[in-house]
Chain A
Amino acid sequence: MVEFFHHNLSYFLSGISVGGQYALIAIGYTMVYGILRLINFAHGDVFMCAGLMMVYLSASLPFVISVPLVLVLTVVLGFIIERVAYRPLRSAPRMSVMISAIGVSYLLQNAALYFTGGLAKVYPEIPFLSSSVTIWGATTRVVTIVTPFLTVILVVLLSLLIKHTKIGMAMRAVSRDFETSQLMGIKINRVISITFMIGSLLAAVASFLYFTNYASVTPSSGAMPGLKAFVAAVFGGIGSIPGAVIGAFIIGICENIIKGGASIFGIPGSGWTTFSDAFTFAFLIVVLVVKPTGLFGEKSVDKV
C-alpha cells in the first residue's frame, strides 16, 4: 500500500513539474498568438537553443555567469527572430508569416545540428536543481519541487505586468487593435518585440528546468516539449495566459499518470508509456471538438 502511494506520488510530482515546464513555454506561444495571430513555430527551437547555449557556456563559465547569460542571449535570440523574420512581413498575408516561422524553426535546428555534429550534448548538472530530495518517502530532484512554484511565481508576475503597468496595457491594446493603438502613440513594433522577449525569457527558464531532468540536448529536443506546450496553449484557449498555464499542467499531469498507469495496474510498462503522447493529442482533439475555442478561448474576434 505504502509503495503504491509512493509510486503515484512520484508520477504526480513529475506531472506537475513537467506541466510547469510546458506552461513556461506555452506562454510564449499564447502571447505571440494573442498579439500577432501568429503561431510561432520557432518557439520550441528557441527553447532548444537555450539548452544548447547552457551546454556550451557552462563548459567554460561558472553557473552564476552562464545562467544569466543564457537568459540574456535567449531574449536577444527571440528579439532578432521577430525583427528579421516576422517584422518585414507585418502587412503580408498571415500564411507568409507562418511559412517564415517554419523556416526559422528549421534554421535553428540546422544551426544546432551544425554546432553539435548531431550528437546529444550532456546537459550540465546545475547545483541545487540537480540534487536529490525525499518527500513523503518519494525520492526526486529539487527541480521537480521547484518548477511548479517558480512557474506560479513567474505567471503571477507576468499577470501583474499585463494588468497593472503601462506596457502591459499597451500589450492588451495592441493585441486588440493595431491601428487605434498607434493613434494612442503606442509604437506597436516595440510592444511586439517586448512580447517576443518575454516569451523567450520564460522559454529559457523552462530550459533550465526541463533539461536538468532530461540530461541531454539534441537539435530536435525542442520539438516535443514545444509541441506539447503548443497543444497546452490551444487546449487552454490560445491567446489566454491562464488558459495556457492550466492547459499545460493538465497535459503534464495526464501524461505522467498514463506512464504511471503501467506500473499501478501492473500492465506491462512499455506499452502504455509509448502511447502517452498519442493520448495527449487525442485528448486535444476531443477538447477541440467539444469546445473549439479551448478552455478560456476568446469568442473568435478576428482582427481587421
Chain B
Amino acid sequence: MSAIIRLKNINKTYYNGAPLHVLKGIDMEINKGEFVSIMGASGSGKSTLLNILGILDNYDTGEYCLNDVLIKNLSETRAAYFRNKLIGFIFQSFNLISFKNAMENVALPLYYQKMGRKTRNKLALEYLDKLGLKEWAHHMPNELSGGQKQRVAIARALISKPQIILADEPTGALDSKTSAEVLEVLKKVNKTGMTMIIVTHESGVANQTNKIIRLKDGVIEKIEDNSEHKFSNFSVENIK
C-alpha cells in the first residue's frame, strides 16, 4: 500500500519567548484511505502536528512527504496551491467567513481554482445537499447551529476533492448528539476512500477511527490498531 503521508523525524520548536520543543522527532506513515485519530494530552503537540500536515505551519527538521512530494521550505504561493489541491482542513472553530453565506463559503476553494461563479455555486449546492443543508445554503454562518456550521466546513473541505482531510477537534465545540452526526458524516466520507486524520480528545470519537496515534510530550507514544473498534474508556489517559 502506498503511504500518502510520510513523516521522518519531524521536529518543531516554538521560539516565542523561551524556546519550546513541541515535536521531538515524529515518524509515521499514513496510507491512502486510512481513518486515523490522534490523541494525547493537552499541549502534547497534536494541533502542531496537524498544522504541519496541513501545510499551515512549517517544521524545523525532518522530512514530510505528501503524495510523494517533499513539503519543505515551500513558497507561500506553492503552499497555497497544495492546500487547495491536496488538503481539506476542518477546524474546531469552523473558520467560516462570517460575511459569506453557506454556499459562498463552500464554493470559496473553487474560486481559488479559478472556477466560474455559476459552476462553483452549483457544485457547492450539491455538496450542501449531500450534507443535508440544502435549505440553509443562503444563510449566513451566524444563522446556523454549531453542527450545521461544521457540516458547511466539511462541505468546504470536500469540494476541492482533496487527497486528505485533516480535522482538528471537529466535534470539540459541539454537543454529543451533534458530534455523533458530524462523525457519521466524516465516516461516510472516509468510506468513499478519502484519507482522514482527526485530532480529538474524545475516546468515543477516536474509537470510530481505524487507527489511533497517541502523542505524549511531542513523541509518538504508541500507535494502536483500532480496526475492531474495541477501544475502551479504561485506556483513556489523556484526561489530566
Asked whether A and B interact, the reply is no
Residues in chain B within 8 A of chain A (CB atoms): none
Residues in chain A within 8 A of chain B (CB atoms): none
